[in-house]
Amino acid sequence: MSPRSNDDAQERDLVDEAADPAGTAETAADPTGTATPAETAGAAGSAAAAATTGTGRPAPGERRGSGRSRALQLAACAVALAVAMTAGAVVLGNRGGDDTSTVSSAPGLDPELLAGGSLASGISALQSHLKAQPKDSGGWATLGMAYVEQARTNGDPSRYPQAQRALARSLELSPDNDPALAGRAALAAARHEFPEALAFSEQALDENAFNERALSVRIDALVELGRYKEAAKAADEADSRRPGVPVFTRYAYVRELRGDIGTARRVLKQALAGATAPGDIAYVAGSLGQLSWREGDYGVALKYYEQALRADRTYLPALEGRARAQAANGDRAAAIRGMEEVVARFPLPGPLVVLGELYEARDDEGDPAKARDQYALVDAWTSLARANGVNADLDTALAAADHGDRKAALRAARAEWERRHTVHTADALAWALHVNDRDDEALAYARRATATGYRDATFLYHRGMIERATGHAKEARGSLSAALELNPGFSPVGAQQAEKALTALGGAR
Amino acid sequence: MTPFTSGFVGRRSLATLVCGALATGGLAAVGVTALEPGAASASSHREAPLISGQPQYDNTDVYAFASPDKPDTTTIIANWIPFEEPAGGPNFFPFAEDAQYDLHIDNNGDAQGELVFRYTFKTHVKNDKTFLYNTGPVESLDDPDLNITQTYDIDLLQLKDQHLVKKTKYADDVAVAPSNVGKASMPDYAKLRSEAVHELPGGATTFAGQADDPFFLDLRVFDLLYGGNLSEVGNDTLKGYNVNSVALQLPNDVIQESADQPIVGIWSTTQRKNASGHYRQVSRLGMPLVNEVVNPLKDKDKFNASAPWNDGDFLKNVTNPELPKLIEAIYKIEAPDEPRNDLVDVFLKGVEGLNQPPNVRPSEMLRLNTSTKPAAEEKRLGVLDGDNAGFPNGRRLGDDVLDIALQVVEGELVGSKNDLGDAVDKNDVKFEKTFPYVGQPTSGSRGPLAKGTTGTNDVRNQLGDALQPAGANGTGGMDDTTLIAVSAASGAAGFLLVGTGLLWWRSRRRSY
């Protein structure tokens, strides 16, 4: 046999570059090139200023200390953190790239095989293989997809630039290859670029109508764009072509969004019965937990969360869900322990709010201060996200509306609504309008959020409060009663508010 | 979630908070997350699995041959679930309950199945209080210590022009041979397996259960498709891995159209129940390597969902195959002239005068002339080496289909003699002399033999080593909290170590 004829130094470099700290930092640290610490200071400053010039009732961002000095303080911390984050990105970007030569070439690793064992070991083997065979377009596509999947399971977006390079390399070697096109679609969706995700998934499906990932991302993109009818059609089509866990989970969600809980639960159970990979089991069991929790079946939810955690004891959504279900079930001590664990790992707005509210509800000595700390971290998180050119996610907007910078929450919610009209963006916008005293505007959005039949007690609570504020007492009673009937533990503080409001309105309907 | 209550947070407390979060690594992680909208921040956007492991539906190989010890019968073997790792604790590999595992037979060459033997499985758990596969040594298939068992039914579907004309229950509640989880649990696995061989009325015999993967090849041979070379071949990539086998031995007169037309086409499919309750075909396999080697990437999924009747769609992949062109580009071995009608014969129609049925419609299936007598001495290159009882006249467990296919693709039948191959000429485990013939599964108590590894240094260990940052070498004995605390204490440079600490910790949580 002839000696290796494809020893292309440039292509070899590309594999190395995928793990190059400098390269990663350059790409990852400043995705938009627009963020500056000054802007952070500005955002925080204007929020604080707004708070001090607010209307009669206490504004969410109000501080009794000097708004200006607090803003500077926050900005300084944000700068320090931004530096720290960049350093972190450098290090994380370097992960797994070096010293993988001990793993020998594993040609043609199927994406499916990656799911069987450890994703990281599959990636490592692929990197090694691509060093030896840099012209393997299929290998590059699989690697790109694996990076996207790794970002999903670990919440580590430093993988995205690496995914982008791997997928670009694949398409350069083999234009129009559907795995790489589907990978680009998945990457776009992960970065919340849903119109692009839709376009790429359709390109991939033009090449291969049976591509499981393209079929799945197409549903995701349509859902996130609020095009639910088309999403349902896409889900049916995917189901008839590629039945399996990726399609089942999306099929179930599309049904749930329309209020068809029975089908959603049945399909998720079916997916769970056929799932063998730990990542699949954790995801599907976690989804069943969330579904049960939203329906107020806390015992069932806890059972599913335990199952998810048996498959992957660090699976964050299950840890968070378990804590929420424990709180709803009255086991506040366990809930606080669990949520503290979640927040210690990822202090994201949603869990921070729940933990803060749990402290408020417990109200031991020091608890009010602890609660305020959590809410302050929500603010810090939001500022940081913005400082890094990231539009705050919907959850951030909701958290900020309740416990942070109300004006910023409204800006974020409006911006997101401009991009996509979903039940979630409608709810976030309605609530952000409400906390900014613009209830007349809020009402239409609150109604829209609940119009598909999607059953979420928070949506109903928000709607009820807005109905009450706009003088629709009868509707408000209905919405608030429905929220408390559906999931009385939807939020430690929100549920109390709902009950109070309901009492003021003359009790449950 | 309430619309108020963000109270006073003074300078001291905010600084403490932020620095506290930093010290625990939390905000450093969030910081990275904050660089782009990340998965962990986006519960309003469902980030569902994209890479999903569903090997139970994946058909790996089909074999069909004249039973050497029972020449008036044909044995069909189909395998699912590739790369079953016997090592790493008691692993249990069930057949899926929401699948139909089908063996198809076309006995008149019209590219439509006349017979379907449909295997469906049920799982039984004796004690659902435990997750253990077995609770003590298993002496027999009905041993109470075997906690999780499976049984199966076989339905025989008779079809005409792809319409069902008759359905009969061919077998009912037959026990599956368990996964071989190790010597301590299953001291006499051979006995368990023999108990799973089940005779059916009418002279047929069936078996379902774990087996050594009988396919032998060096998967790296496919490197050449990726622009590589064949310089490092000779290792059976599938050595040490098991599969789930379904084996069915049928009297020839059950499957032949008639004694005068004894040529049958055989393939296997997997159908999976979808969300709306219909069964959809997700895997199809007859002729080995066609979908792997002949079909280009974008057609593979479509092929898996298709039926032989429509194989005209893929005809061009066979008449104008990619593989010889790739080989020509790399090794300067001249590709035979197109169109490759010789390949159409081997892969789609059968060899004339041997296993090509009259009026055959080209389609991908394993074609077997059931009147061929078993060879007294099998030759691994089958028909190419003058042994007409072997591949591509059916396929025996010992046929070296990779070498045969490679040589045929490179023009062995049209004057371009060659002896290409992967240097793996036989399976690592011996095949049995009697039904079900497949080798016994590698036991769970044997050492790991993952791809690209030697000795005890398996992929995961290597990965752990590779991922462990250089700076963390000396802290192997520390738990991650200690590491992070040390890092945080070391000031600005500590940020880097917080990152590596996280990294190290993450590498641990990933090894399921």
pLDDT at A403: 87
What number is the average pLDDT over the span A483-507? 94
Q: Which of the residue ranges A5-9, A260-264, B129-133 would you say has the lowest mean pLDDT?
A: A5-9
Residues in A 418-477 with any Cβ partner in B closer than 8 A: 424, 428, 434-435, 458, 461, 465
Nearest CA in chain A to B303: A210
- Strands B73-84 and B99-106 come out as unpaired
User: Of B389-398, B445-454, B499-508, where does the model show the most confidence?
Assistant: B389-398
Three-state secondary structure along B23-47? HCCHHHHHHHHHHCCCHHHCCCCCC
B13 forms bridges with which residues in the sheet? none
Residues present in chain B in total: 512
Residue A125 · residue A1 · CB < 8 Å: no
DSSP state, B146? Answer: B
**Where is pLDDT greater, at A85 or A448?**
A448
Q: Which of the residue ranges A324-333, B138-147, B479-488 would you say has the lowest mean pLDDT?
A: B479-488
- Model pLDDT for residues A7-28, shown as the tens digit of each residue: 333 333 344 344 333 333 333 3
- Write the CA distances from B384 to B216, B320, B490, integer angstroms: 18, 22, 71
What number is the average pLDDT over the span A155-169? 88
- Model pLDDT for residues B217-236, shown as the tens digit of each residue: 766 655 554 444 444 456 67
- Model pLDDT for residues B50-71, shown as the tens digit of each residue: 888 888 999 999 999 999 999 9
Separation between Cα atoms, residue B510 and residue A123, nearest integer Å: 12
Separation between Cα atoms, residue A269 and residue A283, nearest integer Å: 12
Q: What pLDDT band is residue B215 in, cutting at 50, 70 and 90? A: confident
Report which residue type is found at A160.
Answer: Y
Q: Dihedral (C-alpha) B497, B499, B500, B505: value to the nearest 10 degrees?
A: 120
Separation between Cα atoms, residue B440 and residue A216, nearest integer Å: 39
- Model pLDDT for residues B334-354, shown as the tens digit of each residue: 889 999 999 998 889 999 999
Separation between Cα atoms, residue A124 and residue B314, nearest integer Å: 35
DSSP, residue by residue, B450-470: -TT-BTTB-HHHHHHHHHS-G
pLDDT at A114: 73
Residue A446 · residue A468 · CB < 8 Å: no
DSSP state, B120? Answer: E
Separation between Cα atoms, residue A17 and residue A11, nearest integer Å: 10
Structure tokens at A423: 């039940």
Cross-chain CB nearest to B22 (options A84, A96, A211): A84
Question: Is B11's CB within 8 Å of A73's CB?
Answer: yes
pLDDT at A110: 67
Residue A345 · residue B29 · CB < 8 Å: yes
pLDDT at B385: 92
**Where is pLDDT greater, at A19 or A271?**
A271
**Where is pLDDT greater, at B240 or A203?**
A203
Closest by alpha carbon to B440, among B241, B211, B215?
A: B211
pLDDT at B210: 94
Each as own residue / partner, the long-range contacts of residues B18-24 (CB below 8 Å, 24 or more positions apart, any chain) are B18/A77, B18/A80, B18/A81, B18/A377, B18/A380, B21/A347, B21/A377, B22/A81, B22/A84, B22/B488, B22/B498, B23/B484, B23/B485, B23/B488, B24/A344, B24/B484, B24/B488
What number is the average pLDDT over the span A233-256? 97
* Chain B residues closer than 8 Å to A497 by CB: 2
Question: Is B35's CB within 8 Å of A89's CB?
Answer: yes
* Chain B residues closer than 8 Å to A399 by CB: 1
Question: Is A277's CB within 8 Å of B52's CB?
Answer: yes
- Model pLDDT for residues A337-386, shown as the tens digit of each residue: 999 999 988 888 888 999 999 999 899 999 999 999 999 888 887 777 66
Closest by alpha carbon to A476, among A446, A502, A453?
A: A502
* Chain B residues closer than 8 Å to A439 by CB: none
Report which residue type is found at B32.
Answer: V
Judged against a pLDDT cut of 90, whether residue B19 lies above it is answered with no
Report which residue type is found at A385.
Answer: A
Residue with tokens 């039940």: A423
Separation between Cα atoms, residue B234 and residue B231, nearest integer Å: 9
- Model pLDDT for residues A87-102, shown as the tens digit of each residue: 333 333 333 333 322 2
* Average predicted confidence (pLDDT) for chain B: 77
B200 forms bridges with which residues in the sheet? B204
Closest by alpha carbon to A88, among A40, A28, A39?
A: A28
* Average predicted confidence (pLDDT) for chain A: 80
- Residue of B4, B27, B32, B465 to mutate, testing the A interface (most A Cβ within 10 Å of its Cβ): B32
| H/E stretch holding B7 | none
pLDDT at A66: 41
Residues in B 268-297 with any Cβ partner in A closer than 8 A: 272-276, 278, 280, 282, 297
Q: What pLDDT band is residue B367 in, cutting at 50, 70 and 90? A: very high
pLDDT at B31: 44
Separation between Cα atoms, residue B22 and residue B40, nearest integer Å: 18
What number is the average pLDDT over the span B393-409? 90
Question: Is A92's CB within 8 Å of B55's CB?
Answer: no
- Considering chain A, what percentage of its residues have pLDDT values greater than 90? 57
Prediction pTM value = 0.81
Q: What pLDDT band is residue B476 in, cutting at 50, 70 and 90? A: very low
Separation between Cα atoms, residue B175 and residue B140, nearest integer Å: 11
Question: Is B453's CB within 8 Å of A104's CB?
Answer: yes
B62 forms bridges with which residues in the sheet? B78
Residues present in chain A in total: 509
Separation between Cα atoms, residue A340 and residue A322, nearest integer Å: 12
Residue A293 · residue A487 · CB < 8 Å: yes
What number is the average pLDDT over the span B398-409? 88
- Interchain CB contact of B167 with A (< 8 Å): no
Q: Dihedral (C-alpha) B138, B140, B146, B150: value to the nearest 10 degrees?
A: 140
**Where is pLDDT greater, at B209 or B51?**
B209
* Chain B residues closer than 8 Å to A138 by CB: 226, 297
Rounded to a whole number, what is the distance in angstroms from the first to the last CA of chain B?
36
- Residue A234's contacts (CB-CB under 8 Å, 6 or more residues apart) are A215, A218, A219, A222
Report which residue type is found at A14.
Answer: L
Judged against a pLDDT cut of 70, whether residue B454 lies above it is answered with no
User: Of B341-355, B361-375, B470-484, where does the model show the most confidence?
Assistant: B361-375
Q: How far is C-alpha A219 from the chain's CA centre?
A: 16
- Model pLDDT for residues A47-71, shown as the tens digit of each residue: 333 333 333 333 333 333 344 444 4
- Residue of B27, B35, B47, B179 to mutate, testing the A interface (most A Cβ within 10 Å of its Cβ): B35
**Where is pLDDT greater, at B79 or A121?**
B79
Q: Which of the residue ranges A230-234, A420-424, B46-50, B374-378 would you say has the lowest mean pLDDT?
A: B46-50
Cα angle value B221/B225/B231 (rounded, 5°): 40
Judged against a pLDDT cut of 50, whether residue B462 lies above it is answered with no
Judged against a pLDDT cut of 70, whether residue B507 lies above it is answered with no
Question: Is B298's CB within 8 Å of A252's CB?
Answer: no
pLDDT at A389: 58
Cross-chain CB nearest to A390 (options B36, B40, B53): B36
Residue with tokens 């001249």: B334
Q: Which of the residue ranges A285-299, A473-487, B315-329 would you say has the lowest mean pLDDT?
A: B315-329
Structure tokens at B464: 């752990």
pLDDT at B164: 96
Residues in A 148-187 with any Cβ partner in B closer than 8 A: 148-149, 151-158, 160, 177-179, 186
* Chain A residues closer than 8 Å to B43 by CB: 317, 350, 395
B436 forms bridges with which residues in the sheet? none
**Where is pLDDT greater, at B375 or A35?**
B375
- Considering chain A, what percentage of its residues have pLDDT values greater than 70? 76
Residue B91 · residue B81 · CB < 8 Å: no
Cross-chain CB nearest to B229 (options A5, A81, A435): A5
Q: What pLDDT band is residue A158 in, cutting at 50, 70 and 90? A: confident
Separation between Cα atoms, residue B15 and residue B23, nearest integer Å: 12
